[in-house]
Chain A
Amino acid sequence: MGVKQMEAAELLSLNKFNVDEDEPHIELDKEICGQCVEKACLYVCPAVLYRLNKNDEISFDYAGCLECGTCRVMCKNKGIIKWLYPRGTFGVNFRYG
C-alpha cells in the first residue's frame, strides 16, 4: 500500500453513493453532443464520467457523480438537457467532506 496515482474509478469506489436507479439527475442529448467540438466535459468532470466511446460519441454514466455542477456550467452547446441535484437522500454521501 501507500500513496499512488489513482484512476477515477478507483477514487470513486472509496465514496459512499446511494444511486437513484429510477431517475437520472443528468441527461444528455447525444445529437447536440455529437456536434460539439470542445467537449470540455471530458476534462473538467472530476469524476471523469464523460468519455468517448469507439465511435467517438460521448458516453456518460450519472452514477459516481460528485454533484459539483462543473459539467453544466462548462457545457457550451447545452447538450446537457437536464441537470438537477439528485432527489433528496440520493447521490453522493461524503463522510469527511
Chain B
Amino acid sequence: MSAEEKFDVIIIGAGPAGSACAYILARAGKNVLMVERGSSPGSKNVTGGRLYTYALEMVEPGLYKQAPLQRRVVREQIMMLGENSAVNIDYVNYDFGEDVPQSYTVLRAPFDEWFANEAEKQGAFVASGILVDGLIEENGKIVGIKAGEDEMYADVVVAADGVNSFIAQKAGLRPDIPAHTLGIGVKEIIELPDEIIAARFNLQGDQGAAKVAIGCSDGIAGGAFIYTNKGSISLGLVLNPEQVGQKGRSIQEILQDFKMHPAILPLLEGGKTVEYGAHLVPEQGYQGVPSRLYRDGLLVVGDAAGFVINTGTIIRGIDLAIISGAAAANAILNSIEGTHAGPLYMEELQKLALLPTMKMFAGWHSIISIPRMYKEYPELANDVMRFMFTVDGQVPEKMSKAMMNIAKRHVAVKQMLGDGWKLFKSV
C-alpha cells in the first residue's frame, strides 16, 4: 500500500449527505476522497423536492446564495381530491424564514453536482463514475473500500450511499430493508414557461409553490406532490409499495391518472414531460433508524441511516442528510484519526438536533398509516364542501343532519373517534 492510496476519510456517495461531510472535512484540511457511482454527482438521484435552507447555512453561511436552487417557496398548498372535485388549502407567507428564505424547490442533478464541486473547491477529491463494491476489514475495523480491482484505504469510511444502504448491510449494521418501511416515489419533470407557472400558481419573480395532495392514490397509502421550479414543474407520487402490489395496479398508471385529474391537468396543460424518474424513500421515521449507526472505522449518514421525516405535509430528507453529513464530519474532526468517532457522531446527531427532531415526529408514522387518510377522509371533505356550496332550488337538508349523514357514508363513527384519538395521541 503506497502512501498516496491512504486517505483520512473516504466517503461513499456524493448525495447531499456525502458532499456536506466532504465539504466540512476538506475545509478543515483533511485528506478526503468522495466516490460516486454516477458519471457525475446527482445523475442517479431523484427527490421531490425542496430543500430547507437552514441545513446549507449550517455547513457554510451564505453558501445557499450560490447554489443552483429553483424557486423560493412562499406558498404551501394541501389538496384533498375527490373523483371530480378538490378541496384546497392555500397558505401563503411572504416572509417565511425572514433573512434567509426558509426553503427552495430543487432539482437534484444540478444541485448535487454543484455541491460536490464546492466540496472539491475546499480540497476534497471527487471520483465519479466509480461503484464501490465493498469494504475492507482488518481486525474487526473497517479500513477502506473496494471498487473493481482497486483498493483504497482510510482512517474512517463514511457510508452516504442512500436508501438501499448496501454498505451498512455489508458491514452488518442493519438487515436488508423491509418493503413496508419504504415509499416508492415516481416523478415527471414537466417543462412550462415561467410566466405560465407564475400565473397558474399565483407567484411573482422567484417565488415558488409546494403542493401536496391526498385522495389520488386509489386508496393506497401515500400522496402526491407538485413543486414549481424555474421553467418546469416536478410532479409525482410516493406510495406504499406493498399496497401497490396488493392492489395490482401499476404505479406508473396511477401517476398518469393523477396527471389527468380535472383539478391537476389545468396546472400542467401545454407542458412537456422531459424526464421520468423513480426513487425509494425511508418512510418509517424515527422507528426506521437502525439501532447502530457506526462501527469501528465506519459511520452511516443520510438516507442510509433512515434519516427522513414525513408528516404528510412536510418531507425532510435532504436537510437531514446534510445535517448528518455535518455531524459525521464534526465527529471525525473531534476524534484522533477517527478512533471512537462513532460515539462522537451520536453526540453530534443530538447536538445538531437531528435525533431529537426525529423523535418529536416519531408518532406521525402511525397517522400516515391510518388507511382512511387516503380515500375516505378526502372524499368526506369533498362531500362536505359539496353540501355547503350546492344550490338547486330544493329545500336543503338540515346542516347537522347532512353532516352526520356524510360522515357516516364514509367512516363509521367509532372508527372516526378511534382515528381522532390516534391523531391526538401521536402528535
The 9 closest A-B pairs by CB, nearest first: A40-B245, A97-B108, A46-B278, A11-B276, A89-B129, A97-B109, A66-B278, A5-B256, A89-B39
- B244 CB, min distance to chain A CBs, angstroms: 5
Q: Report if A68-B278 is in contact (Cβ < 8 Å); known contacts: A2-B269, A44-B244, A74-B242.
A: yes
Chain A 51-88, CB within 8 Å of chain B: the 1/0 string? 00000000000000011111011100000000001111
Q: Report if A43-B272 is in contact (Cβ < 8 Å); known contacts: A73-B179, A74-B179.
A: no
Can you spell out 28 A-B residue pairs with CB atoms less than 8 angstroms apart?
Answer: A3-B273, A4-B260, A8-B250, A8-B252, A11-B188, A11-B252, A43-B245, A45-B251, A46-B186, A47-B252, A48-B250, A48-B252, A66-B279, A69-B280, A70-B182, A70-B184, A70-B280, A85-B166, A88-B130, A88-B147, A92-B44, A94-B45, A94-B277, A95-B275, A96-B109, A96-B234, A97-B43, A97-B277
* A1 contacts across to B, CB distance below 8 A: 270, 272
Give A11 to B259 CA distance when docked, in angstroms: 13
- Residue A12 at the chain B interface, CB threshold 8 Å: yes
- A22 CB, min distance to chain B CBs, angstroms: 14
Chain B 126-167, CB within 8 Å of chain A: the 1/0 string? 001111000000000000000100000000000000011010
* B38 contacts across to A, CB distance below 8 A: 89, 93
- Residue B241 at the chain A interface, CB threshold 8 Å: yes
* A96 contacts across to B, CB distance below 8 A: 107-110, 189, 232, 234, 274-275, 277
- Residue A15 at the chain B interface, CB threshold 8 Å: yes
- B292 CB, min distance to chain A CBs, angstroms: 21
Most buried by A among B46, B176, B259, B265: B46
- Residue B409 at the chain A interface, CB threshold 8 Å: no
* A15 contacts across to B, CB distance below 8 A: 275-277
- Residue A29 at the chain B interface, CB threshold 8 Å: no
Interface residues on A, range: 35 or more
8 extra A-B contacts, CB within 8 A, seeds A4-B260, A46-B252: A2-B269, A5-B259, A43-B249, A46-B184, A69-B164, A72-B164, A85-B166, A97-B43
Interface residues on B, range: 35 or more
* B219 contacts across to A, CB distance below 8 A: none
Q: B-contacting residues of A (Cβ < 8 Å)?
A: 1-6, 8, 11-12, 14-15, 18, 38, 40, 42-48, 66-70, 72-74, 85-89, 91-97
A93/B247 in contact, CB under 8 A = no
- Residue B205 at the chain A interface, CB threshold 8 Å: no
Counting residue pairs across A and B whose Cβ atoms lie within 8 Å, the total is: 154
Q: Report if A87-B259 is in contact (Cβ < 8 Å); known contacts: A14-B273, A48-B252, A74-B242.
A: no
B131/A85 in contact, CB under 8 A = yes
- A4 CB, min distance to chain B CBs, angstroms: 8
Give A66 to B360 CA distance when docked, in angstroms: 34
Give A85 to B12 CA distance when docked, in angstroms: 14
A6/B190 in contact, CB under 8 A = no
- A72 CB, min distance to chain B CBs, angstroms: 8
B46/A74 in contact, CB under 8 A = no
B251: which of A3, A12, A44 is its contact (CB, 8 Å)?
A44
A69/B163 in contact, CB under 8 A = yes
- Residue B372 at the chain A interface, CB threshold 8 Å: no
* A3 contacts across to B, CB distance below 8 A: 190, 259, 265, 268-271, 273
Give A67 to B156 CA distance when docked, in angstroms: 28
- Residue B228 at the chain A interface, CB threshold 8 Å: no
* A88 contacts across to B, CB distance below 8 A: 37, 39, 128-131, 147
* A47 contacts across to B, CB distance below 8 A: 252, 278
- A91 CB, min distance to chain B CBs, angstroms: 8
